A and B are shown apart, each in its own frame.
Chain A
Amino acid sequence: MTVGLHHFLALSAVLFFIGLYGALSKRSAVLVLMSLELMANAVNVDLVAFSRFVTPATMAGQMFAVFSMVVSAAEIGLGLALVLALYRATRSVEVAAMNRLKG
């Protein structure tokens, strides 16, 4: 029972598309942000797996995963701040209510 790069790629693909489905179908902005985090995690699994199997010496994939984590931390901070601002303006977190720039 040996684990190859393909296993990690397939797992990450399934995780990513579960996240994509959530991001497309959810109506609550918080749940959409959670789905985005799922997708970011799937990509990180890919990056680290490539780092382990393809470039174990330079660790480039791991560095990319670090940057991906930074970006997704910034994204979740800003996204949740926007959700709070939207909630303050419209008393709702529905994505359908986010069709105006000024509440």
Chain B
Amino acid sequence: MLRQGKWPTASPKEPAQARPLRRAPATKGVARPPWRRRAMAETVNGIAFWLLAAAALLCAIQTISTRSVVHAAFWLLGVMLAVAGLFLLLAAEFLALVQIMVYAGAVTILLLFTIMFTLRSREDALRPLDASMGAGALSALLLGIVLVGVRGFAAPAAVMPAAAPGTADLGRVMLTTWALPFEVASVVLLAALVAAVWWTRGGED
């Protein structure tokens, strides 16, 4: 390990070739002034954003347009993982983990189970491309309106605020300010799951 602020130099004992070719593991803040670091972080954020956005949109379009129901579920998994990446980019680590566990894990598996419970033959997994002009026109129109609205929206902060509270703060907020809604949400989830079990039991009243 390099000491803080020391660049690797060939000591007189070593031959010159012993100097490492790659730059030393970044000693924090010595190499670059803070404004350079900030600009660099923004570039990295930008690249990550565009990659994740492209992945999310590609997977979403595939989810809608693929002919196989099972493939659609896996493309949807891709969307959810890309959204988890966006959450990481937005410094919401806890939500990124919840996203992976709840959506990418539980919801995808539920969807796959339902798909496979309701398939009677291999051909059932393939569906015709049900394109609808009306739905397309309505969605495109509303999307246009919303995008115009987004363009005209005056953002309160032009760049991402540097400091963000972490998961510990989220937990503190969750169990103080939001404690009651949090409990209500868990009761709602429990009720929904009991109802789901009751529904699928079926038949025998």
* Binding partners A and B: yes
B107 touches A59 (CB 8 A): no
Max count, chain B CB within 10 A of own CB: residue among A16, A84, A87: A84
B146 touches A17 (CB 8 A): yes
B56 touches A93 (CB 8 A): no
Q: Is B181 an interface residue (CB 8 A)?
A: yes
Choose from A13, A31, A77, A83 the contact partner of B147 (Cβ within 8 Å): A13
B142 touches A5 (CB 8 A): no
B140 touches A17 (CB 8 A): yes
The count of chain A contact residues (Cβ–Cβ below 8 Å) is 70
A77: chain B residues at CB < 8 Å are: 110, 192-193, 196
B90 touches A13 (CB 8 A): no
B53 touches A11 (CB 8 A): yes
Choose from B164, B174, B193 the contact partner of A66 (Cβ within 8 Å): B174
Choose from B61, B72, B136 the contact partner of A25 (Cβ within 8 Å): B136
B140 touches A30 (CB 8 A): no
The count of chain B contact residues (Cβ–Cβ below 8 Å) is 92
B118 touches A53 (CB 8 A): no
Per-residue CB contact flags for chain A residues 7-33 toward chain B (1 = under 8 Å, else 0) read: 111110111111111101111101101
| Given A37-B103, A84-B114, A56 and B161 contact (CB-CB distance below 8 Å) | yes
Q: Which residue of B lies closest to A27 (CB)?
A: B130
B155 touches A53 (CB 8 A): yes
A56 touches B165 (CB 8 A): yes
A73 to chain B minimum Cβ distance, whole angstroms, is 6
Interface residues of A (CB under 8 A from B): 1-11, 13-22, 24-28, 30-31, 33-35, 37-38, 41, 44-45, 48-49, 51-54, 56-59, 62-63, 65-67, 69-71, 73-78, 80-85, 87-88, 91, 93
